Amino acid sequence: MTGKLKASLLAGVVGMAMVVTSGQATANDELKKLQTDPNQWVMPLGNYSGHRYSPLDQINKDNVKNLKVAWTFSTGVLRGHEGGPLVIGDVMYFSTPFPNIVYALDLNDNGRIIWKYEPKQDPNVIPVMCCDTVNRGVAYGDGMIFLSQADTTLVALDAKTGKKVWSVVNGDPGKGETLTAAPLVIKDKVYVGTSGGEFGVRGHLTAYNIKTGERVWRGYSMGPDSDILMDPEKTTHLGQPVGKDSGTNTWEGDQWKIGGGTTWGWFTYDPDLNLIYYGTGNPSTWNPVQRPGDNRWSMTIFARDADTGMAKWVYQMTPHDEWDYDGVNEMILADIDVKGKATKALVHFDRNGFAYTMDRTNGALLVAEKYDPVVNWATHVDMQTGRPQVVAQYSTSQNGEDVNTKGICPAALGTKDQQPASFSPKSGLFYVPTNHVCMDYEPFQVSYVAGQPYVGATLSMYPPEGADHLGNFIAWDASAGKIVWSNPEPFSVWSGALATAGDVVFYGTLEGYLKAVDAATGKELYRFKTPSGIIGNVNTYTHKGKQYIAVLSGLGGWAGIGMAAGLTEDTAGLGAVGAYKQLANYTQLGGVLTVFTVD
């Protein structure tokens, strides 16, 4: 984008800034307006800030007990249905797991199919998808629907007809690269990440022109400064310049070329600062002995200029990761009081079990506390250096020997995986779906072969000692760094949360329940058993004046990989199969959209 930027405040859910260039509106002024309309749901996370909050209150804590099914729709696809539907006007759009079908449904006719797009993909991409064949949703902008296909193809579809406008290849499945994350549209660009950290790929975030599909910029997670789009004197880490070659000199030799750091989570955006925020994943391999050093910038929060891609600041949460604590979870942007000071905050619930509150303008670390008391691999985060203080007993390096380190909490799937939390400006609290799982972790020597798994560790997962449950749904105070209330769940909560002005918070469970709880107390107000386990993200909208709640069910994802892929060994599925084998007693596979309302 060229020319002088001028910003004017636009009232709405987020208080977005409308950006104009030389007096001419950018391509997505429409989108900026739409995401402030509570009657629609136009982005996977609800708005640019990632709040997953709705000011709708027709469904509230007094009448939610009367919620009932309005209509349902079978997707025709098995395996894990992550993500959730968009609602633009009278049309609902959503994608499925592989083969990544996109549906456009008519809300005026109980979900009649307006159009269906089914890409023709090589099924050989399935074996290089790490943790099920999931897809986390589509994006909307400039009259188009954007789909990230498993085979790394980014597709732009006409929102009215479903016809392909353009497509571009974003990676190489032959090397283990795939796509699972939902894109994000900002101004005249669409942004997309990449998956494949378990295959030794090198992660990146890429911006494409929304009208042509032309690549505008690509920022790698590690490598030379020019590849990362990093100025060693201007890009900062906790207020200090990162210094020259930080993305290579913290790796041994050329290991950065197969360094991982993939970007398969969520993206958020602050229009006032013109910064896009996201996290990078684990370094490759999972055997830490084979990659000495801090392995920058894996496990890192990036704040990049949305126009140029240049990194303004970074923060590495887990240097020299030894546990697969990917840093890809969502960055929620909220203006809150932190220790008595009004702050433009970024709040992030990391896989490593620490919840971070940061100043999103400059990357200053303000709060870093455990959001599950059983987290034991580190005692605390040093607030000066930002480094977690690792407990030697739970290091998986163990003086360079391949030993089985036992009782590490959390497990590799983290205290929270990608399932997004929500933030209520009304209550000031964050509502977080969590895992309550520990592990044994035994690394082993592994050689890199392009397109082959590059893991190098065997895992077993189980509940913490003395616990009889694998998950909690919690309310979190990001200013104090404290749990306000916590509801135990038999299995991990793998569904994205939704908070509303009706003082109700919604989430789904792996057994298949849609649940509604009181935002202030966590008291359960409603539950309904959908046809399959829920790993999708709940949303809400209105149609003809009536509020609806919508969610995709369809068991799978990492927690459900045993059933989704037919795995039986306890250590299969990167250790998850053994922990979740009891799921088969409660639910089965099958993708279904369920829409609820109150009469």
Q: What are the tens digits of pLDDT across the range 384-394? A: 999 999 999 99
Residue 19 has pLDDT above 80, yes or no: no
529-552 residue pLDDT tens: 999 999 999 999 999 999 999 999
pLDDT in the model for residue 400: 64
Q: Give the residue-averaged pLDDT of 499-525.
A: 98
Residue 44 has pLDDT above 50, yes or no: yes
pTM value? 0.94
pLDDT in the model for residue 9: 27
Q: At 22, is the pLDDT very low, low, confident or very high (cuts 50, 70, 90)?
A: very low
For residues 298 and 427, give the distance between their C-alpha atoms in angstroms, rounded to a whole number. 34
For residues 527 and 594, give the distance between their C-alpha atoms in angstroms, rounded to a whole number. 13
Q: What is the mean pLDDT of the chain?
A: 94
pLDDT in the model for residue 26: 53
367-379 residue pLDDT tens: 999 999 999 999 9
Query: What domains, with CATH codes, occur in the chain?
Result: 5-597 (2.140.10.10)
Q: At 4, is the pLDDT very low, low, confident or very high (cuts 50, 70, 90)?
A: very low
pLDDT in the model for residue 243: 98
pLDDT in the model for residue 402: 72
Give how far the C-alpha of residue 47 lies from the chain's centroid of Cα atoms, to the nearest Å: 14
For residues 271 and 49, give the distance between their C-alpha atoms in angstroms, rounded to a whole number. 10
Residue 6 has pLDDT above 80, yes or no: no
The percentage of the chain sitting over the pLDDT mark of 90, rounded to a whole number, equals 92
Q: Give the residue-averaged pLDDT of 253-276.
A: 97
Residue 89 has pLDDT above 70, yes or no: yes
pLDDT in the model for residue 53: 98
Q: Which residues of 461-489 are buried (b: 16+ CB within 10 A; e: fewer)?
A: bbbbeeeeebbbbbbbbbbebebbbbbeb
Structure tokens at 2: 């060229």
Active site amino acids: 324
Q: Identity (one letter) of the amino acid at 231?
A: D
pLDDT in the model for residue 339: 86
